[in-house]
Amino acid sequence: MTRGRFRVLEVDARLNRFLRNSLCILGLLWLAFSATTVCAADPPSAAGSVLKLLKSGKVPPARLHSVVEMVCSRGNEHDLAYVFEQALDEKAYAPELRQQALLWLKDAALNRKTLPANREALGRLLDPAVSTDDRLQLRAIELAHAWKDPGTSPPLVQIARSDKSSDAIRTAAVSALVAVDPAAAKGIANELLASGQSYHNRTVGVDTLAGIDLVASAQAAAQVLKSTTPEDDPGPIIDSMLAREGGAEQLGLALKSTPLPQDVAKLCLRRVYSEGRSDPGLLDVLAPQAGVSAKPVKLTPEQVTALAAAATEKGNSARGEQVFRRSDLSCTKCHAVNKAGGQIGPDLTPVGANSPMEYLVTALFDPDAQIKEAFITRTVTTLEGRIFQGITVDRTDQKLVLRNTESQLVEIPISEIDEEIEGKSLMPKGLPTLLTESETLDLLKFLSELGKPGTYAVRSTQRFQRWRVLVNAKPELLAEIPNLVIFETEVLAQGLWGSAYSLVNGTLPLDEIAVRLKSKVFYLQGEIEVVEAGPATLNFDSTNGLHVWLGKESVNSPAGATVDLAAGRQTLTIRVDTTARPESELRLELTRPEGTSGQFQVVDGQ
């Protein structure tokens, strides 16, 4: 996702291409300097010789990405103009490189304040009548956002109001308009907030207005939240207000005069806690409406000892695992178990074997008491009034990279930072107030068993723990097994995949996914990192109701099948039809056939 003018990368994004390609880049630079010289008439440029090499057409296709990236990261406005011109030409670069080039041009604008001289041509990529590639159009919208060129306002307005554009495209266009043409953006925000609009559109209206008129946005947010149904997620609205300086306080003021139903207030409170926020101006209003205390419980040493004893004696680890997995508590968003889950908190795989129960009690009720240095947060406020919070991953003289509560990497230009302070733990301070006494005991019992022999032991095999789940699958994909063309375009080429995690013992509860997607048929995807090509055996607990693909090739008779894995990252996609599968869970483990030399590892993380 993209919020404001800042680039948000997927968790598995590669932060430093130059390190991976350093030897090749040095070789290309040597070739450029030895084969050409910069003419005296050329404008000074740190990328001049590399640009000459790029223009010569002598760059090997496998290294073209690296060279284009170097020009974008070091070139002047004339160098960038050449790259932009090539990105506009569908015959010059492959689709993936065209998208990447626009992304790198965006980075040049945000981090170096360098823009190409031929910016007016961007309208060609934005025009809905011309654009046929949603991903390229999305990159073009993000570039318009970074450039703030008023000339892009008309096509952005057209996209924002188009019924033919996807929700993601329209949302990005409205967000860009906030920077490009605030008056037009406010008009569209008011249209989206009108009665009769969908809940999604109204949340976009709130987010858009937050960048223009924070008070009006807070009032609109309160009205939208008050009218939510059980199917609506208040999270995006809470996020929009928390992301703005003063937004939490303004929302608190608005909710004083527009109180929420208790269940909605509870959901909002959980969202605030899950973001690691404790803004008193909002919590002091939300907590009473939710029927809970806004003040975190402080335990005495005697209470810690008593609670530890009660959890050991009365807690149920199986029920505790279900508490841990609850989406409203967001435990898996921050913590991994057996390497599956979030990356912004400690991996909890060995915590039970390594920690006494009293330590776990203290960590749950007072997460700030014992924070490892690697997990200390930073809260950043930008010149535009946006707030970012997360764990520092990288810092250069041009940008700060934070890992946020969604485990996404957020790049913030140093020049845009207004204030930066060191925070504390991202773990919710008021989590115990959202749990019953029995849920607290069960959760503690579960944590105390992690890493010990038995059900919650550390994984020692190539067992899938992390899965991707296809979101918003088209009806035809659910009705029948797709042919190769449809599978490639509607499944493999789709970017909307959510996460799902197996239980600690490796079984994936299928009913949880069916309820979440409101469908008894759905698509799962696991990933395999293959270091050395070779065969692997698929060990399913059962193949009832399953259709399996490795890459784009269908796997016939997948039960115990041995497949050939090529080097690199491979995808294993599974269509699950729970109506044809008596088993309510799925478990898959890869093994290497005896006598073979292939090397592979299942991909974990979030």
Q: pLDDT, tens digit, for every residue of 200-218?
A: 999 999 999 999 999 999 9
Residue 423: the pLDDT is: 74
Residue 195: the pLDDT is: 87
Residue 504: the pLDDT is: 94
Residue 144: the pLDDT is: 94
| H-state helical runs in 326-471 | 331-334, 351-354, 357-365, 437-449
Pairing of strands 521-532, 553-555: unpaired
Q: What element of type H or E holds 377?
A: strand 377-382
Buried b (16+ CB within 10 A) or exposed e, 156-194: bbebbeeeebeebbbbbbbbbbbbbbeebbbebbeebbe
Q: Show the tokens assigned to 428.
A: 């919710």
Ranges of residues in the chain whose predicted pLDDT is under 50: 1-26, 28-41
Residue 381: the pLDDT is: 92
Q: State how far the alpha carbon of 144 is from the alpha carbons of 102, 118, 140, in Å.
A: 10, 13, 6
pLDDT digits over 345-367, tens only?
888 999 999 999 999 999 898 88
Who's near 27: CB < 8 A, 6+ residues apart? none
Beta bridge partners of 394: 401
Residue 338: helix, strand or coil by DSSP? coil
Among 458, 377, 455, CA closest to 420: 377
Residue 332: the pLDDT is: 87
Q: What is the largest CA-CA distance in the chain?
A: 82
Calpha distance 156→261 (Å, rounded) = 37
Who's near 42: CB < 8 A, 6+ residues apart? 48
